[in-house]
Structure 1
Amino acid sequence: MNDTDLIPTVVTIAIVVVIVIFVLTILFKSIRIIPQAYAGVVERLGRYHKTLTPGLNILVPIIDRLRPLVDMREQVVSFPPQPVITEDNLVVSIDTVVYFQVTDARAATYEIANYLGAVEQLTTTTLRNVVGGLNLEEALTSRDNINGQLRVVLDEATGKWGIRVSRVELKAIDPPASIQDSMEKQMRAERDRRAAILTAEGTKQAAILNAEGERQAAILKAEGDAKAAVLRAQGEAEAIQTVFHAIHAGDPDSKLLAYQYLQTLPKLAEGESNKLWIIPSELTEALKGIGQGFFAPRDAAGPGTDAFPRA
């Protein structure tokens, strides 16, 4: 075989190789595997043809073109802080976080050029409209209300883009530095006031408990004194009753009773206010009897004679 015979053979082999490579390339381009949670938009001859779902998909080579895949998962986007003017003309810096999900890959591809940037701009303008109608105090204390209004407006506006806004959160609302300083002073004053109230309440409760304890102690002491007085009175009554029975049992005469009364007179006179003595008439009669008993012997001995014999 000469060289002229080899040329057709080489050309044939080259053509076969080219055809095989072309066929393999066509097959490779016609087969597309879409990952889970993604969707692919297919254009045929420049127009929308269909949306590919996760799994194995077949395309027509040359006439079909696959657009970049669309992430169908819920996405979280944190936007940089935005300056917002409140109703009372104070500039606050608000940091927002938006949770959204693409529900229609075709609308997200053809209805909006950059849906992520559109969501950011729409969030900023809606936030300014909502917060602009609130004063600073309302903006700081109405986060849930602001979040709800933002979510409703964003979800309604992004619905035609094939996007569903599920949640909007305000991460931070930072008022001006001067307002922050005033708020910190107010918070410190409030904490000091609460501490003073708690201290006063504690002191009050302690005073109440001390007073209650003293009252109970006084009541117990008074009850003890009363019981002691009753016992003393009962003892004195029993002693008097015993003496009374002893006196009556001994059948004393009036002279003995007068003598006993004279013995008690010094005790009656111990008080400073006892300046008047009351002497019963029975006692005077008894004293006369005692006097007659002492002076009768002297009278019987006669004048000038002592009543008692001298030694």
Structure 2
Amino acid sequence: MEQLIVALVLVAAVGFGVARTVRVIPQATAAVIERLGRYHRTLTPGLNLVVPFIDRVKEMIDLREQVVSFPPQPVITSDNLVVSIDTVVYFQVTNPKAATYEIANFLVGVEQLTITTLRNVVGGMDLEHTLTSREDINTALRGVLDEATGKWGIRVNRVELKAIDPPASIQDSMEKQMRADRDKRAAVLAAEGQRQAAILAAEGEKQASVLRARGEAEAAVLRAQAEAEAQAMRAKGQADAIHMVFKAIHEGKPDQQLLAYQYLQTLPEIAKGDANKVWIVPSEMGKVLENLFTPPKDAS
């Protein structure tokens, strides 16, 4: 019975020793091994063997990129305004030994270094520059952090500002200014629209006036041409009528008595009209009457 107990104890001791000898390290993880209190080596992912009771695991380091969001920090700008800034840092452990022995807690170190660097960078900017220069602040923070954390075995990949919150009074003033700017732009756009509309209306009226004047001028020219053609046709008609009368008279070979009779027929027409108050009988009237009442001579 005692031999069985001894055997069980020996098996348990061997099993415990084997368990302390074999170390399985997960992927993307590194184990820092100390031997008798001093750094010995860094175990890589997979199956590893260590000396039990002599070697021990000091730290298990996560080698993946880590994202740390720090609480809002009050920062004073160059124009003495306090703004609250939230930061997010993306970093990765590249040297597990340095991350274990060069700093007691690298997360706290990154946080404090981020806060102090942020205050230094933003302290040289005014509020307006701070609100509009996030990329510049991110770049400055990343450069300083990456340089300072290099000796800790840490690489800072990216730094982002989640929020920049100015004081409530400044926010209210900024909102009022933005509303005033929007109202101003709206008024300017409305005035510009009215000006453009007035210009277009005036231009349209001008073109319409030009077209009307051009149409009236062309119409006047056409009326004058038509009137001139009508007068020419009337004159031609009168000339043709006179020519026909003259031709008929000559072809009819009228005597003095016929002419005298026609002359007497025309005198009442001459006397017509309100303006004909006085008219003079020509001296040839006597000869006309004499020819009228003198019997014609015998042609034989």
TM range (shorter): 0.7 to 0.9
1:79 aligned counterpart, secondary structure: strand
1:296 maps to which of 285, 290, 299 = 285
CA distance in 2, matches of 1:180, 1:46: 56
Structure-2 separation of matches of 1:203 and 1:297: 89
**Residue among 65, 83, 89 paired with 2:74:** 83
Task: Look up the match of 1:306.
Answer: none
- 1:56 and 2:47 equivalent? yes
Q: Shift of the alpha carbon at 1:216?
A: 2.2
- Which amino acid counterpart does residue 285 of structure 2 have in structure 1? A
Change (3 A) 1:292 1:123: same
Report the 3-state secondary structure (helix = DSSP H, G, I; strand = E; otherwise coil) of the residue aligned with 2:71: coil
Q: Compute the displacement of 1:62 (Å).
A: 1.4
8 Å CA contact retained: 2:59, 2:100: no
In the TM superposition, residue 223 of structure 1 has moved relative to its aligned partner by 2.1
Distance in 1 between residues matched to 2:85 and 2:79, nearest whole Å: 16
Q: 1:133 aligns with which of 124, 128, 140?
A: 124
Query: Structure 1 pair 295/261, CA: closer, same or farther in 2 (3 Å)?
Result: closer
Report the TM-score, using the length of structure 1 for normalisation.
Answer: 0.78
- 2:145 is equivalent to residue 154 of structure 1: yes
**Structure 2 residues not aligned, in runs of 5+:** 246-262, 291-300
Question: Structure 2 matches for 1:28-67, cutoff 5 A?
Answer: 28-67=19-58
CA distance in 1, matches of 2:171, 2:196: 37
Distance 1:102 1:95 in 2: 23
1:161/1:294 CA distance change after superposition, 3 Å = farther
Moved over 2 A (4+): 250-253, 259-263, 290-301
Structure 1 residue 157: deviation in Å?
Answer: 0.7
Q: Any residues of structure 2 matched to 1:263-302 within 5 Å, and which? A: 292=281, 296=285, 300=289
Q: Which shifted more, 139-148 or 180-189?
A: 139-148
User: Structure 1 stretch 244-253 or stretch 59-68: which is displaced more?
Assistant: 244-253
Once the two structures are superposed, the pairs formed by residues 49-198 of structure 1 within 5 Å of their partners are: 49-198=40-189
Q: Hey, what's the Cα distance between the residues in 1 that align with 2:75 and 2:202?
A: 59
Query: What TM-score does the superposition give when structure 2 sets the normalisation length?
Result: 0.80
Identity of aligned residues (%): 62
Any idea what SS the aligned residue of 1:89 has?
coil
Q: Which whole-Å deviations, capped at 9, do the CAs of 1:251-299 have from their partners, x for residues lacking one?
A: 379x9xxx99999x99xxxxxxxxxxxxxxxxxxxxxxx9647993799
* Offset, 1:186: 0.7
More deviation, 211-220/106-115? 211-220
1:15–1:205 CA distance, 2 compared to 1 (3 A) = same
Question: Which amino acid counterpart does residue 296 of structure 1 have in structure 2?
Answer: M
Give 1:220 deviation, angstroms: 2.1
The secondary structure found in structure 1 opposite 2:219 is helix
How far is the alpha carbon of 1:65 from its aligned partner?
0.6
Whether 2:10 is the aligned partner of 1:19: answer yes
Between the two proteins, the alignment pairs up a number of residues equal to 265
How big is each residue's C-alpha offset from its partner over 1:151-197, in whole Å with a ceiling of 9 and x where there is no partner?
Answer: 11111111000001111111111122221111111111001011111
Whole-Å Cα distance in 2 between the matches of residues 245 and 146 of structure 1? 101
